[in-house]
Amino acid sequence: MKFKFKFNPNKKRYREDLVQGPIYDTYENYDESKPSIDYAVLPEREKETAPILETRGVGIDFGGLTAVDEFTITVGPTEIAGIIGPNGAGKTTIFNLLTKVYQPTRGTFFFDGQDTRGLNTTKMSELGVARTFQNIRLFDKLTVEENVKAAMHREINYGLLSGLIHGPKYRRQEKEAHEKALQLLSIFDMQDMANYRAGSLPYGAQRRLEIVRALATEPKLLLLDEPAAGMNPSETAELMNNIRKIRDTFRIAIILIEHDMSLVMNVCEDIAVLNFGRVIAKGTPKEIQSNPAVIEAYLGKKKEAK
Amino acid sequence: MKKEFMKKFAVVMLSLVMVFAMAACGGSSGGSSDSGSESAEAVLYVGATGPLTGGASFYGNAVKQGAMIAAEEINASETEFRIEFRMEDDEADGEKAVNAYHVLQDWGVQVVLGSVTTGSCVAVAGETFEDRVFEITPSASSSDVTNGKDNVFQVCFTDPNQGKTAANTILELYPDAKVAAIYNNSDPYSTGIFNAFKAEMEANGKELVEAATYPDDTNADYSAQLTACKSAGADVVLLPIYYTPASVILKQAADMGYEPTFFGLDGLDGILDMEGFDTSLAEGVMLMTPFNPWSDDAKVAEFVKKYQDAYGELPNQFAADGYDTMYVIYETFKAAGCTTDMSNEEICDAMVAAITGGFSYDGVTGEGMTWSTDGTVSKDPVVVVIKDGQYQDR
Amino acid sequence: MKKITSKGLSPYRKNEIISYGIAILGFAVISVLRSLGMVSSSLQGQLVPICAYVIMAVSLNLVVGISGELSLGHAGFMSVGAYTGIVVSGIMGTMGAADPVRFFAAVIAGALAAGVAGFLIGIPVLRLRGDYLAIVTLAFGEIIKNIMNIVYAGIDENGFHISTKSDYGLSAEGRMLLNGPMGATQVDRISTFFYGFILVMVTLFVVQNILNSRQGRAIMACRDNRIASESIGLNVMKNKLMAFTVSSALAGMGGVLFGLNYSTLLPIKFNFNTSILILVFVVLGGLGNIWGSMIAAIVLTVLPEALRQFADYRMLVYAVVLIVVMIATYNPAIRSRVSAFAEKYLRRKKPDAAPAEGGAD
Amino acid sequence: MIFLTNLINGLSLGSVYAIIALGYTMVYGISKMLNFAHGDVIMVGAYISFCGTSYLGLPAWVSVVLAMAVCTALGIIIEGLAYRPLRGTGSLAVLITAIGVSYFLQNAALLIWGSAPKVFTSVFSGMGSSIRLFDGGLTVTWEAVFTLLIAILIMILMTMFTTRTKMGKAMRAVSEDNGAARLMGINVNSTISMTFAIGSALAAVAGVLLCSAYPALMPTTGAMPGIKAFTAAVFGGIGSIPGAMLGGILIGVIEVFGRAYISTELSDTIVFGVLIIVLLVKPTGLLGKKITEKV
């Protein structure tokens, strides 16, 4: 099945009125006066294009405790990147920083060429960052279809009055949204579940629905937090295919956090390894697999275990 | 899916219909059970609404007990008809009062005695005015009760009337005193009296040194108000309030060593009967009340005795009002030449004409009561002073 | 390309039909019975308040059930609507407008005033969460009641007067509209059951249409998961404010209906207890369940009247019924027993599998 | 001098609120429910004490102990019968049940004791008249002094109880994480019962103190102080014992000062207005813990 959605080329890449910090058109225009630590780090597949995401020395403290520090990566516009690391390494915190659930204590990051200082979660979503959650956060009491439609609120934009009287604009947009929602659901073959309550879905379906919902916001960068958690091997394999399929059809960048090494090593083009809030290694799956620092982080200092 | 939905829908609808049906039948069956006796003997259905539960039920029950004694006396006497008295609970709430009135209607009410409290009474009066039912209230004293309604009468003084009389009494007794007032600003009774009192005082060139208010909750602290009165140097403090807050005010005043002359109105009546109240706190309090249970008057003494025999307590002013009101209904009904088989509207028109046409009644709450066309009563106020835990004539 | 379709009827559709059905059928049955003279005076007297309480319950459900915020001050908005409506109706009455015109002008004014009040109060209140939000709505409810206690208004040949003092110079021929703690007196009682029915239908239309629109989805999404809603770009505050404002406006409408049904209305009527009463309708009827709110409002308004035969024990019985029903509806053990029973006799199809447990960390 | 009088009155009223708020806060902390029936337990406590002294002729302190015992039992019964079956079903269902319990207690009291208000004899009436200072310019009642002292004493005892004793620690554990506490071998049911018992005993004390200072006793006596104390508990940060104390005292002082210096008509408006402002600046109350939602 082919997906027919494309991003509207007339749509601005960002909204100037939302930007509070300085605007950089491209990353060449970044303020170079501040020496940055080792940037443009992940080997880019698409070196000639501007990255969708570039973080610069991002760090956050919680009550004096440094959770993430000097986090610096770049992600290309159609790249699948992975972040791995032991439990408590700060992976989810990074997602929370990228979606501005937390504001970074230090450093900043550029999304689609725009400095994100002072933006909040809602605005990050408007810029084009979408995510799923490690502990599933669906709208449990809404139906599957509504979960997806709720995320399409930028295309469905009739006003309150139209919503009240269910006028022609309402009917047209709702019809379009309905069709689009079903098509999005069909990525994971979930269109038959459209009228079930999201909370009543089986676990795996809930995870998939979260991805669909994130896609419905028309993101440029999709953050998947442990998408394969709780899935069996065959489901994981299917998910792997789907992640690639999503990237190829929507032409967006994906960052995923995952413990399932087979998934990460198979699907990711670049990987950053995190330990105690710091990036300890970056590279292609092959490079990471043989990196001694990574092995140490995962298996401990004593080599006997190997 | 569709079938099951229809089933659910049907169940809901059926239960709804049943609720309505039950409510409808419940009402009508109540009415029919009583109406059967009408053929045997003439019965006048007198219905009342008042608070029988809730915080104000004390007043409702007093009126009910007083009115029941009167009804028993009447029924025991030689009459052409019997009085059937029924009182429905309104929790001193306008909405519930209207509900209660409608229950009485289903029962076949012909004359309304009530309501006991002002808010309920205004609400019910709006209904009786439209339905043309004669209504006379023992104790709802606001002028809103009778305003613009020719069918509604009061046995008690109106609030403005009381306020005015209180002002004149104070001006007469204490011409040089500094006068203050503490009143409940969210209570119509209290505010009604206060506003008239203030206007009358000012009309006589006297400003109040302090007018302290408190909002409507039961156990508030009145020390701030008392402190204000005290620091303003007030010698006379008007308390146009009910006795419950007054008991607290008297105690707190005593605690802070503030001893002005407190001047209460009929709402203060009952303070001496409060269980556990230290009556010495009320010594010297002036009271304007229509009813004195310790009076030597034979009629009063007889009523008090009957009441005590029946309920084991001293009747208060509300009981006396209830007693008088029942008699006023009875006497007016007879004076108007009504019979129990007349329609409510005929009864109403005849009774209105009778009560305003030179009718006079001597009751336990006043001699020679007459009524004007605006529904208010004219009788002499009595000012008593509390001494040795009793009312004494001044 | 093959057209993708979903299975089954949207659950909202069903509920919508039930709610409209209850309203229309209720109105039709009562109207027929009335024309046959089979409705007791007691029930007749309650028809308008029942409509008003249904409106209050359905509108509060928009905040408590659908938006998921506990509001303990709904009666405050009812009073804003009621008093605005009484003033407007009073002014128009002196100008000699016809009753239906007066009534609906009062309804519009009351709804607008309450909506504005809801909007202004919602801005600070909705920044809070959970029980803190609840206490602040309670506080605002009490504040509205307190303020209504000191508002005096009247109209005379010099025009409309409004003041916080009782002596505001209303001439003797003037008509007193609001009289401070004495509230509104001498109100022309122009509410009818038919108007009540129309307003109930309007309320159902507004609330259910919102539910089934992008605004409703956004409101419910923000209720179900605040963080996820932000992550998909919903403005939580804005959506909650919208629900709160619409709910307040509808409550104002219910207030007008209620206020114009009695010749007098004391501000104290709209105290904490009334807010709680409406909340009880909503919770008992089921959060987010519109027709549940309707049924609960109807039954719990009729119940105290039906319990009159218990005389003094009436409110005690009411309290016991309330507790028992709450436990029976919400206790997990009893619920599962009931649903097992329902499973057996009313067969309900469930999605393919039960939610898997575990995995989430 | 007037200022001092008002301050003392405010402190005294605030202390009563504080004791009630302590009960609210403890119950909220452990069961995350707003126990709207708490105010009515106060009323029951006051009635029991009243009956003890007036009908049974007991000495004041015995009647207070009796009231505490009855309220403790009442608290345990209410929790067991009405709240326990709904534990874990969301706070709204329990809230409504609590309101049902509140109606029940008020109406039961109405049937038992009647609606006619009773005048409560102050438990400090044996102390003689009030303390007069500055040649009678300032009078301080014994009720005010003792109410404040008792409130402080109760706060200290409660703080010690929750931090030093095994039961107290168990309570804190349960209020922190019900499930984890169960896994650690804490009997959650008995811990919650215990909390209700203590909260209700405190309510009895509060009822006696409240009615000693403001003696009119009716079935609705507890309702408004209950709401005010609930406000106080939220004001100070619900769940926090010092917060309840601080909130109670502040609400009392603000109420009396508002009435004395701004407007008696709007004193409640002022109290609630201050509450709203405080919550907007500090959304979890004065001493409340900041809750961060884990993502």
Q: What is the rounded radius of gyration, in angstroms, for the C-alpha atoms of chain A?
A: 20
Query: Mean pLDDT across the stretch C326-337?
Result: 82
In a domain, A16, yes or no: no
In a domain, B51, yes or no: yes
Q: Could you tell me if B285 and B350 lie in one domain?
A: no
Query: Mean pLDDT across the stretch A79-95?
Result: 88
Find all residues with CB under 8 Å of C287, minimum gap 6, and list them: C61, C64, C65, D92
Query: Mean pLDDT across the stretch C272-295?
Result: 90
Q: Could you tell me if A185 and A52 lie in one domain?
A: no
CA distance D240 to D22: 8
Tokens of C232: 């998909």
Query: Mean pLDDT across the stretch C23-33?
Result: 93
In a domain, B386, yes or no: no
Domain tally, chain A: 2
Q: Where are the domains of chain D?
A: 12-223
Q: Could you tell me if B85 and B149 lie in one domain?
A: yes
In a domain, A20, yes or no: no
Q: What are phi and psi of D294, to 5 degrees?
A: -85, 135
Where is C160: in which H helix or E strand?
Answer: strand C159-163
Q: Name chain C contacts of A235, Cβ cutoff 8 Å.
A: none
In a domain, A212, yes or no: no
- Taking only the tens place, the pLDDT of each residue in B162-217 is 898 899 889 988 888 899 999 887 777 888 889 889 999 999 888 889 888 887 65
Give the per-residue pLDDT at B28. 42
In a domain, A274, yes or no: yes
What's the per-residue H, E or C state across chain A? CCCCCCCCCCCCCCCHHHCCCCECCCHHHCCCCCCCCCCCCCCCCCCCCCCCEEEEEEEEEECCEEEEEEECCEECCCCEEEEECCCCCCHHHHHHHHCCCCCCCEEEEEECCEECCCCCHHHHHHHCEEECCCCCCCCCCCEHHHHHHHCCCCCCCCCHHHHHHCCHHHHHHHHHHHHHHHHHHHCCCCHHHCCCEHHHCCHHHHHHHHHHHHHHCCCCEEEEECCCCCCCHHHHHHHHHHHHHHHHHHCCEEEEECCCHHHHHHHCCEEEEEECCEEEEEECHHHHHCCHHHHHHHHCCCHHHC
Q: Could you tell me if B238 and B258 lie in one domain?
A: yes
Domain tally, chain C: 1
In a domain, A31, yes or no: no
What's the per-residue H, E or C state across chain B? CHHHHHHHHHHHHHHHHHHHHHHHHHHHHHHHHHHHHHHCCCEEEEEEEECCCCCCHHHHHHHHHHHHHHHHHHHHCCCCCEEEEEEEECCCCHHHHHHHHHHHHHHCCCEEEECCCHHHHHHHHHHHHHHCCEEEECCCCCHHHCCCCCCEEECCCCHHHHHHHHHHHHHHHCCCCCEEEEEECCCHHHHHHHHHHHHHHHHCCCCCCEEEEECCCCCCCCHHHHHHHHHCCCCEEEECCCHHHHHHHHHHHHHCCCCCEEEECHHHCCHHHCECCCHHHHCCCEEECCCCCCCCCHHHHHHHHHHHHHHCCCCCHHHHHHHHHHHHHHHHHHHCCCCCCCCHHHHHHHHHHHHHCCCCEEECCEEEEEECCCCCEECCCCEEEEECCEEEEC
- Domain of residue B53: give its range: 41-156+298-378
Q: Could you tell me if A238 and A132 lie in one domain?
A: yes
- Out of D159-163, D196-200, D266-270, give the one with best mean pLDDT: D196-200
ipTM of the modeled complex: 0.84
Q: How far is CA C310 from the centre of its chain?
A: 29
Give the per-residue pLDDT at D4. 83
CATH assignment at residue A133: 3.40.50.300
Q: Could you tell me if B358 and B310 lie in one domain?
A: yes
Give the per-residue pLDDT at D180. 86
The band of B393, judged by pLDDT with boundaries at 50, 70 and 90, is confident
- Taking only the tens place, the pLDDT of each residue in B225-284 is 888 898 888 999 999 988 888 888 898 888 888 889 999 988 888 888 888 888 888 888
Give the per-residue pLDDT at B159. 87
Buried/exposed A152-172: b ≥16 CB within 10 Å, e otherwise: bbebbebeeebbbebeeebee
In a domain, A83, yes or no: yes
Nearest-Cα distance to chain A for C211, in Å, is: 9
- Taking only the tens place, the pLDDT of each residue in B42-66 is 899 999 999 988 777 888 989 999 9
Spatial contact of B66 and B93, defined as CB atoms under 8 Å apart: no
CB nearest C302 (choices: B15, B23, B127)? B23
Query: Mean pLDDT across the stretch B85-98?
Result: 90
The band of C96, judged by pLDDT with boundaries at 50, 70 and 90, is confident
Closest by CA to D102, choosing from D271, D219, D192, is D219
Judge whether C349 is closer than 8 Å to chain A, CB to CB.
no
CB nearest D280 (choices: C127, C327, C334)? C127
In a domain, B82, yes or no: yes
- Taking only the tens place, the pLDDT of each residue in B27-37 is 444 333 344 44
What is each CA distance from B311 to A83, A239, B24, B306, in whole angstroms? 85, 83, 36, 9
CB nearest D86 (choices: C132, C284, C326)? C326
Q: Which residue of C has its CA nearest to D235?
A: C132
Residues of chain C with pLDDT > 90: what percent?
Answer: 45
End of a domain among A173, A200, A227? A200
Residue A54 has pLDDT above 50, yes or no: yes
- Out of A82-91, B237-246, B348-357, give the one with best mean pLDDT: B348-357
In a domain, B271, yes or no: yes
- Domain of residue A280: give its range: 36-138+218-305
Nearest-Cα distance to chain C for D130, in Å, is: 34
Give the per-residue pLDDT at C56. 97
Q: Could you tell me if A110 and A186 lie in one domain?
A: no
- Of A25-39, B293-307, C127-141, minimum mean pLDDT range: A25-39
Q: Do B224 and D256 touch (CB under 8 A)?
A: yes
Q: Could you tell me if B133 and B185 lie in one domain?
A: no
Q: Could you tell me if A118 and A145 lie in one domain?
A: no
Residue A18 has pLDDT above 50, yes or no: no
Q: Could you tell me if A112 and A228 lie in one domain?
A: yes
Cis status of the peptide bond prior to B115, with omega within 30 of 0:
yes
In a domain, C229, yes or no: yes
Spatial contact of B201 and B171, defined as CB atoms under 8 Å apart: yes
Q: Could you tell me if A192 and A52 lie in one domain?
A: no
- Domain of residue C164: give its range: 45-289
Nearest-Cα distance to chain D for B281, in Å, is: 12
Q: Is-above-0.90 flag for pTM?
A: no
Q: Could you tell me if A114 and A65 lie in one domain?
A: yes
Size of interface C-D (CB pairs under 8 A): 125
Residue D109 has pLDDT above 60, yes or no: yes
CATH assignment at residue B266: 3.40.50.2300
Residue A306 has pLDDT above 50, yes or no: no
Q: Could you tell me if B228 and B285 lie in one domain?
A: yes
Query: Mean pLDDT across the stretch C149-173?
Result: 81
Q: Do D268 and C143 touch (CB under 8 A)?
A: yes
Q: Could you tell me if B166 and B256 lie in one domain?
A: yes
Q: Do C326 and D108 touch (CB under 8 A)?
A: no
End of a domain among B245, B260, B289? B289
Sign of the Cα torsion C7, C10, C13, C18 reads: positive
Q: Could you tell me if A114 and A228 lie in one domain?
A: yes
Spatial contact of B184 and B213, defined as CB atoms under 8 Å apart: yes
Q: Do B16 and C26 touch (CB under 8 A)?
A: yes
In a domain, A153, yes or no: yes
Residues of chain A with pLDDT > 70: what percent?
Answer: 81
Closest by CA to D38, choosing from D27, D48, D29, is D27
CA distance D138 to D151: 22
Give the per-residue pLDDT at B25. 47
Q: Do C323 and D238 touch (CB under 8 A)?
A: no
Q: Could you tell me if A117 and A187 lie in one domain?
A: no
- Taking only the tens place, the pLDDT of each residue in A218-256 is 899 999 999 988 888 888 888 888 888 888 888 888 999
Q: Could you tell me if B210 and B309 lie in one domain?
A: no
CB nearest A139 (choices: C7, C225, C352)? C225
Residue C85 has pLDDT above 90, yes or no: yes
Nearest-Cα distance to chain B for C116, in Å, is: 25
Where is C179: in which H helix or E strand?
Answer: strand C175-179
Q: Name chain A contacts of D295, Cβ cutoff 8 Å.
A: 92, 96, 101, 133
Give the per-residue pLDDT at D136. 62
End of a domain among B289, B306, B333? B289
Query: Mean pLDDT across the stretch B19-26?
Result: 50
CB atoms within 10 A of CB D238: 28
Q: Could you tell me if B5 and B120 lie in one domain?
A: no
Domain tally, chain B: 3
Average per-residue pLDDT in chain A? 79
- Taking only the tens place, the pLDDT of each residue in B280-304 is 888 889 888 888 888 888 899 999 9
